[in-house]
Chain A
Amino acid sequence: MLELNSICKTFNPGTINAKTALNSLSLSIKEGDFVTVIGGNGAGKSTMLNAVAGVFEVDSGTIKIDGADVTRLSEHKRAVFLGRVFQDPMMGTAPTMSIEENLALALRRGQKRGLKWGITNDERELYREKLATLGLGLETRLSDKVGLLSGGQRQALTLLMASLKAPKLLLLDEHTAALDPKTAAKVLELSDEIVSASNLTTMMVTHNMRDAIAHGNRLIMLDAGRVVVDVSGEEKKRLTVTDLLDLFSKASGSSEANDAMLLG
């Protein structure tokens, strides 16, 4: 489904601030995989997701989604394939537009937008149904501005928007990091439900090792812009946080398995 072939990205090349974020990173993900991605700060987790989403062009290497080479495709064109949820709850929705307008934008992801009405009445019924599955009471607030919602509600809505039109690949970029523990757990639970309901191929970046172990069927760890640990199936199920920390020290050749990674 997703194939990253030795992609490289250096920010601010040739300057004193030059930072190699992706160092010849290769990764192949099968259809239906739910991959959790962990790594220390600056390991390249978000950069990898942004490279897939086309926020910037990679310096070298190729990116294929569902067989199509998207390496040079602009961000809005790649949106056809992708559902995205960001770390910042403000990022995934348009605050000055209503809940239904946001959903209508998401329903038309990757379609040509012409002079037909932006929302139709049939759609509203669909939105009500889908919102009800979130269990947040949003189904009665279709015309409320998204700016009125809490961070957790917005992330839940963004999740719904990302999956409304089933994407080839769902990208969750630390989407619970900015939420309180209880809300984070709820949003994670929703993510699991949505992913399994449509059997979505998913990449989820997280700072939390326990979440990374508990969710998905495959776990990769990045360090210095490349994949250093890749476990899946039974092996992943048996993983513990201590195992992960050991793997990390071995892979990165340093013993500073930092607490930040553990606590997230």
Chain B
Amino acid sequence: MNFFVSLLNSLPGAVAQGLVWGIMAVGVYVTYKILDVADLTVDGSLCTGGAVCVIMILNGSPMWLALLCAFLAGLAAGFVTGVFHTFFGIPAILSGILTQLALYSINLHIMGFGTDNGSKANLPISVDKFPLLVSARYVRDLAIKNPILVLLIFLAVIIGICYWFFGTELGCSLRATGANSKMARAQGINTNFTTVLGLMISNGIVALSGALLSQYQGFADINMGRGAIVIGLAAVIIGEVLFSKVFRNFALKLIACVIGAVIYYLVIQFVLKLGLSTDDLKLLTALVVAIFLAIPHLRSKYFGKGAKKRA
């Protein structure tokens, strides 16, 4: 009985975390599903967003400006990866890894802004002293400041903007680039430009999610983005595997990613309550993602058309 009570108690926290990571998953969706690029920059840009946001709030910046700058920092990170990939011809995965590595140092310096040695690995921010938008403290309160409500509003706005943007001429050209870049060029689309733009948008959204995550947990940390891409992919893929048959509209597909992220965190909560050590979480995450990535492949291999012929 105690198990269920404590599980129930942990549900709001899991949902809120899922929603923060849901924003991140929308960013991952832009590169992974639309642009057809696995972008590893996000492991670094998530922390960049958090670091920029926290350091700015600590230095007295208004909230909206801190969020905007976090978003811009994410755009810049995506831009660097995009230039590595298109202008210098480095494979996309490697470009992302390079930026991510570089961001490790940059993030330390952002968080160490104003300190003696100019570098810091962890930056706490207290909800008592600063007017944070989202905080884990209020996650069970029935109030406007409940992070779940705030995050839902954020998600609605972000998904709305994405829905609009990917329906525009520019957004369509970005989708065409991911679907068939040769065809896109034949239609006069500068695929280098659209690729860079897609990477920027994606990392901007991821950095924004990092900014909200650091407020939610009350600190920015150099390791907060470690394995972020895997969690983002997990959300995208869980959402797709579960909802691809029902959700056909683009906005619904983005919502599926968010639900995927929430499900992911609910599952994590559940196994933690079952007694799994937090040290083993990354292992579990990797397994979950591997399984969900394998499902579509195995399904078509053993249950799809022609499966019998091969068997």
Contact = CB atoms under 8 A, between A and B. Distances in A.
B202 interface: no
A76 B182 CA distance: 10
B237 interface: no
A176 to B, nearest CB: 18
Query: Which residue, B170, B178, B179, B188, has most C-beta atoms of chain A within 10 A?
Result: B188
B171 A79 contact: no
Interface stretch (A32-40, A108-116, A182-190, A224-232): A108-116
A101 B180 CA distance: 13
B169 interface: yes
B169 A94 contact: no
A96 B179 contact: yes
Contact of A91 (B170, B175, B180): B180
Contacts of A136: none
Interface string B146-185: 0000000000000000000101111111011011101111
B167 A117 contact: yes
A72 interface: no
Given A92-B183, A95-B179, A95-B180, A109 B188 contact: yes
Contacts of B190: 74, 76
A141 interface: no
Contacts of B189: 76, 79, 105, 113
Contact of A94 (B170, B184, B188): B184
Contact of B176 (A80, A105, A111): A105
A93 B165 CA distance: 21
A106 B171 CA distance: 15
A117 B182 contact: no
A113 B180 contact: no
A76 B173 CA distance: 12
A91 B182 contact: yes
B168 A94 contact: no
A91 B182 CA distance: 7
B233 to A, nearest CB: 18
A77 B169 CA distance: 17
Interface string A115-136: 1111100000000000000000
A192 interface: no
Contacts of A91: 180, 182-183
Interface size grouping (class) on chain A: 20 to 34
Contacts of B170: 113-115
A148 interface: no
Given A76-B189, A77-B188, A114 B168 contact: yes
A117 B164 CA distance: 8
A93 B173 CA distance: 13
A94 B167 contact: no
Contact of B172 (A90, A104, A110): A104
B269 interface: no
Given A94-B176, A97-B175, A117 B188 contact: no
A118 B180 contact: no
B187 interface: yes
Contacts of A110: 188
Contact of A53 (B171, B179, B186): B186
Given A95-B180, A96-B179, A111 B168 contact: no
Q: Which of B165, B171, B185 has the most chain A CB within a 10 Å cutoff?
A: B185
A90 B145 CA distance: 51
B185 A76 contact: yes
A108 B187 contact: yes
A203 to B, nearest CB: 15
A58 to B, nearest CB: 17
B186 A94 contact: no
Interface string B186-217: 11111100000000000000000000000000
Interface in A75-107: 75-77, 79-80, 82, 84, 86, 90-97, 101, 104-106
Nearest to B180: A94
B167 A80 contact: no
A125 to B, nearest CB: 19
A118 B168 CA distance: 4
B188 A76 contact: yes
B40 to A, nearest CB: 23
Contacts of B175: 94, 96-97, 101
A61 to B, nearest CB: 22
24 contacts: A76-B191, A79-B185, A79-B186, A86-B182, A92-B183, A93-B180, A94-B175, A94-B179, A95-B179, A95-B180, A96-B178, A96-B179, A97-B175, A97-B176, A101-B175, A104-B172, A113-B170, A113-B173, A115-B165, A115-B168, A115-B169, A118-B167, A118-B172, A161-B187
Interface of B: 165, 167-173, 175-176, 178-180, 182-191
Given A105-B173, A105-B184, A117-B167, 17 more contacts: A74-B190, A76-B189, A77-B188, A79-B185, A79-B186, A82-B186, A96-B175, A96-B178, A97-B175, A101-B172, A105-B176, A105-B189, A108-B187, A109-B188, A110-B188, A113-B170, A118-B167
